[in-house]
Structure 1
Amino acid sequence: MISHKPAARMLLAAAMLAAFPKLARAQMSHQHASEAACEETVLRCASKVTPAFAPDGTLWLAWMAGGQISVASSKDQGKSFSAPVQVTRERLNLDWGPDARPKLAIDAKGDIALAFSIFRDQAFNGQVLTTRSTDGGHSFDPPRPITANNESQRFEAIGFDPAGAVFAVWLDKRNRVPAQRRGEKYDGAGLFFASSKDNGATYSDARMAADNTCECCRLALAFDGAGHPVVVFRNIFEGGVRDHAIVTFTDLATSGELHRVSRDDWQIAACPHHGPSLTISSAGTYHVTWYTNGKARKGLFYARSRDGGKTFSDPLPVGQLNHSPSRPQVIAGPQALAMAWKEFDGQKTSINLMTSHDDGATWSKPTVIADTADSSDHPLLVSDHRQTYLSWMTKADGYHFQAIEGEP
């Protein structure tokens, strides 16, 4: 485990919580972005840290600190890291929303694709920027917009498909102004996507997979056994209900049908800032975790689909509702499925873990694998195909990268 001792500073998204119901507001009040320790660009000052393993087993981290994006690598499963490399060349107004963070993906050759978003104004209109490294992370191209459109884009997700192409998906508000000009009401944002066949140097023209989605929750992206992108997102259904939906793409340029993950009936004209997690097991089963404050159910839930996302199992409650469970993550590891999430008992935040050895049919009892007495980033799960790890940035205890117990 790596531990860097930070000092103090808080990044709060208070303005974005004003319209929340009581339960959601309490749930978000202590589980916002990590408090950056300082204004430097080093890891100990990071507010958001994202891990990814390269095919050769190298662990890469991308983080936000000092208004810039940096990366570093580890050859010993997080025990030590290389000197940081600056991805950005100047201080930016990085998207600090609770569901925002830099994203990175590494291909079989060690080339790195990276994406992040910035705020362009005080109204939280964003812009997704992308860059790449073709020299093993020693340097990065100057970041450039993923699309020429000047409307707001946020909450990007990227990944390499099995053929080595980059697939990117994000939330985009380009349809808002045309609708307003027609005198029509426009809710949410569009789910847009593009791909790159030159390791992220250039992207195809943006296309829309779905319109009127919830505009302020992170997206979950995975690839099925055939290499098709699969995206889970919070949609806006009839009546202003913000429940989760899933789309499996036919190919990198063609989106598939939209299916509903669950019927939680969360009717809210505000931003939850609490997106889902998705993993696809070797058996082809889709596994999804999410948060809701709906009429039908409240809290964290898990469900699985064995028919390509057309139907899902009954939602399984996750965590203790009186401990404000949040930020669920699920991953198909080499030996088992693992699910981690946050809980808050009024004094400290803990990371809880459950595992399943039968493709999600049954789960172990929850165990606490880490905790902190101060603010923290979301818990993230990552695998090198031999072991599953927890990645977690905390203010008081620094950055943690630890093997999950029970995974050989």
Structure 2
Amino acid sequence: MLRMSLLATLAFALCQSAANAQMSHHQHASEAACEDAILRCASKVTPAFAPDGTLWLAWMAGGHISVASSKDEGRSFSAPVQVTREKLNLDWGPDARPQVVIEKNGGIALAFSRFRDKAFNGQVLTTRSADGGQSFAELRPITSSNESQRFVALGLDADGSVFAAWIDKRNRVPAREEGRKYQGAGLFFASSKDGGAVYSETHLAADNTCECCRLGLAFAGPGRPVVVFRNIFEGGVRDHAIMTFADPDAPGEVRRVSNDDWQIAACPHHGPSLSISPAGTYHVTWYTSGKARKGLFYARSQDEGRTFSDPLPLGRADRNPTRPYVLAGPHGTTMVWKEFDGEKTAINAMTSRDEGKSWSTPSAIATTTDTSDHPLLVSDGRKTYLSWMTKADGYRLLPIGDGS
């Protein structure tokens, strides 16, 4: 497996050497320069707003997962609370990061993955705080399976249930024992009725999905999770697909987002983003290097993912656009992504006030001259913010116009 992973990484590097060089530099520079568990040393930071407007951050640094909160839009933070009790070999993959959701009663559900061996087999661990983030329960595996789980995504349903989806390799061994070819991994899911303390039995939503990309997760309505993921279609084509659940236990049909025709026997490490507006519009952003198109793209669906608009290209091709993220906020929809001009990395943004039919002119809203995390978007119900961790300038939370 290690040899296969190394060959896959090398193959993808030939397709996107500049992007991988930037990601690799980010990873190693951050880890080598700062080994403490404090926010300043974080390589991955995930934000979430509580219903009362408190901003919570979950981050990975120094082999630990920690959290802290802010009452003043990120200008100052509470004393950090260390979630992990011992140093772990946390999943440092470009698309891996801790996941956090905040309940109405102040409870906090967390999930993240660690590497269990040198072959990059992972394990998703979960925990919960019942006292507003002052302490966390002992870590629990999200599943009893001893196979690899990575790239977990968490979402909070309208009734307070926590829905989890992740990439899982438990079906590869049975397939090989039966002499069947097995590509990729499976998309698995589970839910928790007690705020992330205990998860239900896990189930397969779709098999033969790409094994190394983040998932996009949102809700089409109460009890209706929606997951966007990089799938493996016939012929080894790794294009994006979307699935709308009829309820938290009933996965729906796998539907294609776009025909990019990216045939590659490797791991792109560059997953999609999904947001669903109150009007029901599905907004999806993604990266591809297919025969049909290359770069970053956006598309929308107004029929629950059955059909999508023609892909809209994002960013300047000569500036290596990467890591797109979309959020349907309180006053419109916002997209952000990274671009690199040879000297600095910029976060560019576009906004839409008409459900993604038209967009503003792209503008740079933040820059840095050193390594940085992926740009994320988060909303407190009033504003949309860019959440961005940079090595040179630390953590930033910047309000965006939001199309209002």
Name the TM-score, length of structure 2 as normaliser. 0.96
Instruction: Tell me, in whole angstroms, the C-alpha distance in 1 between the residues paired with 2:83 and 2:43.
Output: 16
Q: Which amino acid aligns with 1:299?
A: G
Query: Paired residue for 1:24?
Result: 16
1:219 to 215, 239, 247: 215
Q: Is the 8 A contact 1:214 1:235 kept in 2?
A: yes
Higher relative contact order, structure no. (Cα contacts within 8 Å, ≥ 6 residues apart): 1
Instruction: Tell me, in whole angstroms, the C-alpha distance in 1 between the residues paired with 2:243 and 2:17.
Output: 29
What is the number of equivalent residue pairs in this alignment?
Answer: 396
1:407 deviates by 5.7
2:329 to 323, 327, 333: 333
Q: Answer yes or no: is 1:71 the counterpart of 2:63.
A: no
Query: Paired residue for 1:181?
Result: 177
Q: Is the 8 A contact 1:17 1:25 kept in 2?
A: no
Query: Paired residue for 2:374?
Result: 378
Q: Answer yes or no: is 1:114 the counterpart of 2:106.
A: no
Instruction: Tell me, in whole angstroms, the C-alpha distance in 2 between the residues paired with 1:222 and 1:28.
Output: 28
Query: Paired residue for 1:5?
Result: none
Q: Which amino acid aligns with 1:379?
A: P
Q: Tell me which stretches of 4 or more aligned residues in structure 1 moved more than 4 Å.
A: 13-16
Q: Which amino acid aligns with 2:319?
A: H
Q: Is the 8 A contact 1:127 1:154 kept in 2?
A: yes
Q: Is the 8 A contact 1:153 1:173 kept in 2?
A: yes
Q: 1:17 to 1:373 in 2, by over 3 A?
A: farther
Query: Paired residue for 1:404?
Result: 400
Q: Is the 8 A contact 1:387 1:407 kept in 2?
A: no
Instruction: Tell me, in whole angstroms, the C-alpha distance in 2 between the residues paired with 1:324 and 1:22.
Output: 14
Q: Which amino acid aligns with 1:20?
A: F
Q: Answer yes or no: is 1:43 the counterpart of 2:35.
A: no
Describe the SS at the equivalent of 2:131. coil
Query: Paired residue for 2:260?
Result: 264
Q: Which amino acid aligns with 2:56?
A: W
Q: Answer yes or no: is 1:361 the counterpart of 2:387.
A: no
1:202 to 173, 198, 204: 198
Describe the SS at the equivalent of 1:31. helix
For residues 172-226 of structure 1, what are the alpha-carbon distances to aligned partners after superposition, in whole Å with 9 as ceiling and x for unaligned?
Answer: 0000000111111111000000011111111111100000000000000001134
For residues 255-288 of structure 1, what are the alpha-carbon distances to aligned partners after superposition, in whole Å with 9 as ceiling and x for unaligned?
Answer: 0111000000000000000000000011100000
Q: Answer yes or no: is 1:279 the counterpart of 2:275.
A: yes
1:155 deviates by 0.4
Any gaps of 5 or more consecutive residues in structure 1? 1-12
Q: Is the 8 A contact 1:300 1:317 kept in 2?
A: yes
Instruction: Tell me, in whole angstroms, the C-alpha distance in 2 between the residues paired with 1:152 and 1:22.
Output: 26
Instruction: Kindly report the root-mean-square deviation, in angstroms, between the aligned alpha carbons of the 2 structures.
Output: 1.4
Which protein has the bigger helix share?
Answer: 2
Query: Paired residue for 2:300?
Result: 304
Instruction: Tell me, in whole angstroms, the C-alpha distance in 2 between the residues paired with 1:129 and 1:217.
Output: 18
Q: Which amino acid aligns with 1:203?
A: Y
Query: Paired residue for 1:170?
Result: 166
Segment of structure 1 superposing worse, 371-380 or 14-23: 14-23
1:344 deviates by 0.8
Q: Answer yes or no: is 1:54 the counterpart of 2:43.
A: no
Segment of structure 1 superposing worse, 391-400 or 257-266: 391-400
Segment of structure 1 superposing worse, 41-50 or 19-28: 19-28
Share of identical aligned residues, percent? Answer: 70
Instruction: Tell me, in whole angstroms, the C-alpha distance in 1 between the residues paired with 2:184 and 2:6.
Output: 20
Q: 1:38 to 1:303 in 2, by over 3 A?
A: same
Q: Is the 8 A contact 2:353 2:403 kept in 1?
A: no
Segment of structure 1 superposing worse, 39-48 or 27-36: 27-36
Instruction: Tell me, in whole angstroms, the C-alpha distance in 2 between the residues paired with 1:247 and 1:100.
Output: 21
1:321 to 310, 317, 328: 317
1:237 deviates by 0.1
Q: Answer yes or no: is 1:243 the counterpart of 2:239.
A: yes
Instruction: Tell me, in whole angstroms, the C-alpha distance in 1 between the residues paired with 2:34 and 2:312.
Output: 40
Name the TM-score, length of structure 1 as normaliser. 0.95
